[in-house]
Chains A and B, each alone.
Chain A
Amino acid sequence: MLEVSGLRKVYDSHGRRVEAIGDLTFTVPDGSLTCVVGPSGCGKTTLLRCIAGLLQPTAGEVRVQGSLVSGPPAGLAVVFQEYGRSLFHWLRVRENVELPLKAARMPKSRRGELVADALDAVGLADAHSAYPWQLSGGMQQRVAIARAIAYQPKVLLMDEPFAAVDAQTRADLEDLIREVWRRLGVTLLFVTHDIDEAVYLGERVIVLSASPTRVADDLPIDLPDLRDQLTTRADPRFTELRGRVYAQIQKAKAERTPT
């Protein structure tokens, strides 16, 4: 379970005060797939960094599995937006996936199994001895996802992981994420600015307002569990949900007071 309560983050730099997150409270139950969507610049990345324990909130708290987050919590993995920068360019694909397991002092044979399984799950079984820069952008992000899978997290955070890949790769990766989530039973929080992506992926979509950020809407996605790029996106219910999220975001943008 992931609990965010009364979260607030104010950046104070060079005499300019920016209230990135106003007051955020929500709970993500175990094993669920929640998408967080909001207008650009609404503090999505700030929220994710606070949950990951990479950033100290100004007020409020985050709890992962019941314990207060004050630094990066155990059992939490993050897939960052900048795949090109989150992989170790000097390590081969296999070594990139293995490094967190080495840090956890896992025995070698077990590490080998987990790495092979994870690379298999993301369709990169053949690329284990390549260097990241020898792969396309979509494949690099698959490596980052494999690294998260092999780590066997209880909670997995994803920060606009597909923002920088092309549309077709993106569709493939979306389906991959659904599959991985169903297989691992992990609690997944997926941050995106793409409304279609949020509705297609999530069991639930949390819509954020413009900054100072609050929860503008929180709606369950009652689409069938087995999703398909063609049929799900053609479903009238999909269009309806998408319309509702879109309207909320437009409203959030309009309410934004120019500063």
Chain B
Amino acid sequence: MTFVRRIILAVALPITLLGLWWFASEGSTNYLWPPLSRILTAFGDTWTAERLRADVVPSLTRLAAGYGLAVIAGIALGVLIGGAPRVRAFTEPVLEFMRAIPPPVLVPIIMLVLGLGDTMKIVVIASGCVWPILLNTVEGVRGRDEVLDDTCRTYGIRGGLRVRHLVLRAASPQILTGARQALSIAIILMVISELFAAENGLGFTVMQFSRGFQIPEMWSGVFLLGLIGVALAAVYRLVEAWLLRWYHGQRLSRREW
């Protein structure tokens, strides 16, 4: 498939849907369903450079901090737990329990403990994101090839060198699967953490528009959130393709034989 055809295939459905929305909503007098043309105008008027700086940047900064914290903690704990069968047997029931709790439920609790500041929001994001990363890392570390383990033992590859070149790399396909799931959760929690007692942020702004019955502006905020999600997914795909180039290459070469 050529590059041009792939682009056409990828954008065909979004453009069709936008077109349908445009014509179906044109001339709409329903207060809650304003015409798309009005939403797009509101988009340009609402999301000015000033607003991006005041609301979008704080949101994304908290997202990056919470997500980064979850990635570091999830991988570090996952390597520890996945590498020791006893530790795993000991911690597994608790981990499964923690994973089963829907992250938004923790927001009121974390709010009580940490107050309403940025720390609370970052911890909310991190506490929801850490589970898929942690559990996938555990599985990835556990599932590494025993022949490679024997190779490391035979050639005296130990400690940090072993973690870097065997444990992390062998688990990386699964770690990245966990990181992808966590990314979706991070965006959801970023918004949710701003719905309660915030003074800036995307979730806060959308909520303000809703309370003020600024319906086109509210829709434009939802639209922006969707765009941010798409952009973050694209960044993720670039990072994944680079980190797992060996993995994809290997799978491709297997298919050829």
Chain A residues in the interface with B (C-beta under 8 A):
49, 52-54, 71-72, 74, 76-78, 80, 82, 85-86, 88-91, 99-100, 102-104, 131, 133-134, 147, 151
Interface contact B155-A151, CB-CB below 8 Å? yes
Across the interface, name the chain B residue whose C-beta is closest to A81: B147
Say yes or no for B102: interface residue by CB 8 A criterion: no
B249 touching A131, Cβ below 8 Å: yes
B141 CB → nearest A CB, Å = 15
11 A-B pairs within 8 Å (CB atoms) are namely A72-B154, A77-B155, A80-B151, A86-B151, A99-B157, A100-B155, A100-B156, A103-B156, A103-B158, A104-B156, A147-B155
Assuming the A-B contacts A74-B156, A88-B166, A88-B169, are A102 and B150 also in contact, with contact meaning beta carbons closer than 8 angstroms in the complex?
A: no
Q: Is the CB of B150 within 8 A of A103?
A: no
Please, which residue of chain B has its CB at the minimum distance from the CB of A74? B156
For B249, give its contact among A76, A102, A133, A147 (CB under 8 Å). Answer: A133
Closest to A85 in B: B147
Work out how many contacts link A and B, with CB atoms closer than 8 A: 68
CA distance A102 to B165 in the complex (A): 11
Complex formed: what's the CA distance from A56 to B154 in Å?
Answer: 14
Closest to A137 in B: B257
The residue from B145, B147, B153, B161 contacting A72, defined by CB atoms under 8 A apart: B153
Q: B214-251: which residues lie under 8 A (CB-CB) from chain A?
A: 246-247, 249-250
Task: Return chain A residues, CB-CB under 8 Å to B109.
Answer: none
Do residues A80 and B161 form an inter-chain contact, with CB atoms below 8 A? Answer: no
Task: List B contacts of A104 (CB < 8 A).
Answer: 156
Give chain B's interface residues, CB within 8 Å of chain A: 145, 147-148, 150-151, 153-158, 161, 165-166, 169, 172, 246-247, 249-250, 253-254
What residues on A are CB-neighbors of B250 within 8 Å?
89, 131, 133
Q: Shortest CB–CB separation between residue B21 and chain A, in angstroms? A: 45
Chain A residue at smallest Cβ distance from B149: A54
State the CA gap A99–B147 with chains docked (Å): 16
Tell me the minimal C-beta distance from A177 to chain B in angstroms: 18
SS class of chain B's interface: helix, strand, loop or mixed? helix
**Cα distance, A72 to B162, chains bound together (Å):** 15
Nearest CB in chain A: distance from B250 CB, A: 4
Which residue on B lies nearest to A54, using beta carbons?
A: B150
- Closest A residue to B145 by beta carbon equals A85
**Which of chain A's residues has its CB closest to B246's CB?**
A90
Q: Which residues of A lie under 8 Å from residue B169 when comparing CB positions?
A: 88, 90
Judging by beta carbons under 8 Å apart, are A99 and B165 in contact? yes
On whether the beta carbons of A88 and B148 are closer than 8 Å, the reply is: yes
Q: How many angstroms from the CA of A115 to the CA of B250 in the assembled complex?
A: 24
Least Cβ distance of B149 to chain A in Å?
9
Q: How far is the CA of A213 from the CA of B34 in the complex (A)?
A: 83
CA distance A112 to B254 in the complex (A): 31
Residues of A within 8 A of B246 (CB): 89-90, 131, 133
- Chain A proximity of B212: nearest CB distance (Å): 53
A102 to B153, CA, bound (A): 14
Beyond the given pairs A72-B154, A89-B247, 6 more chain A to chain B contacts, judged by CB atoms under 8 angstroms and listed by A's residue number, are A49-B150, A78-B150, A80-B147, A90-B172, A133-B246, A133-B249
Q: How far is the CA of A53 from the CA of B246 in the complex (A)?
A: 31
State A155–B147 Cα separation when bound (angstroms): 19
CA gap between A131 and B169 in the complex, in Å: 14
Tell me which of B147, B154, B254 contacts A82 (CB under 8 A).
B147
Q: Is the CB of B154 within 8 A of A54?
A: yes
Pick the contact of B165: A76, A78, A88, A131 (CB < 8 A): A88
Tell me, in angstroms, the Cα distance from A83 to B10 when the chains sit together.
41
> Considering the complex of A and B, which 10 residue pairs feature the smallest CB-CB distances, nearest first?
A100-B155, A85-B147, A133-B250, A90-B246, A103-B157, A90-B169, A78-B154, A133-B253, A86-B151, A86-B147
CA of A163 to CA of B250, assembled, Å: 22
A100 to B161, CA, bound (A): 10
